[in-house]
Amino acid sequence: MPPDRVGVIRQLQYGKTLIEDDDTGEYLIDLRHSRGLHKTSKFFGPTVTRIPLRVSRLIDTFQTARKHLRKTVDTMPMTDFLFFCGNTDKLMGASQFSQLTGKSFEGLTGRRCTMKLLRAAFVTWLRSRRDVPAEVLESTAHAMKHGTFAGTLDCR
């Protein structure tokens, strides 16, 4: 799964844009009913992106822990957002999400990494491979909401 637009990831909401597929156990990023709410769905129409099972399991673990905390901690927010602000039920802001992303990568790798840099690294890696067919580049460009230019991925 290529990285999606940052705003889409940041605004994931259980039961609305983050849907669990009961058959596979994977989560789906479902933008079919949010036309105009996200830059992605406004320009590229309704889309559904499958989240790999490994990542879906992490989301499940987080959701289970959060449900447990709601039962035991009075100040635990009752929000459906995957990313929320501390002890409130408000959506995490763009700058807060960027800080969280940077600190998370720094903790894992010792270096900060922004979402934009992560997307650019993925595109650079994919384009550097000589064995990637043009069809894969085009489908990846579509999935990442990029244009294609003469059979290559346009990073603009």
**pLDDT, one tens digit for every residue, the chain (156 residues):** 444 567 778 888 999 889 999 999 999 988 777 655 556 556 556 677 888 899 899 999 988 888 888 777 777 677 888 888 877 778 888 888 888 888 988 998 898 888 778 777 777 777 787 887 777 777 777 666 665 544 444 454
Size of the chain, expressed as the number of residues it contains:
156
Cβ atoms of residues 89 and 66 within 8 Å: no
The Cα 151–Cα 139 span in angstroms is: 11
Q: Which helix (H) or strand (E) holds 153?
A: strand 152-153
What's the pLDDT tens digit per position in 78-109? 788 888 887 777 888 888 888 888 898 899 88
* Global pTM value: 0.67
For residue 16 the two structure tokens come to 């609305």
Would you list the domain boundaries of the chain? 6-151
Q: Are 114 and 146 in contact (CB under 8 A)?
A: no
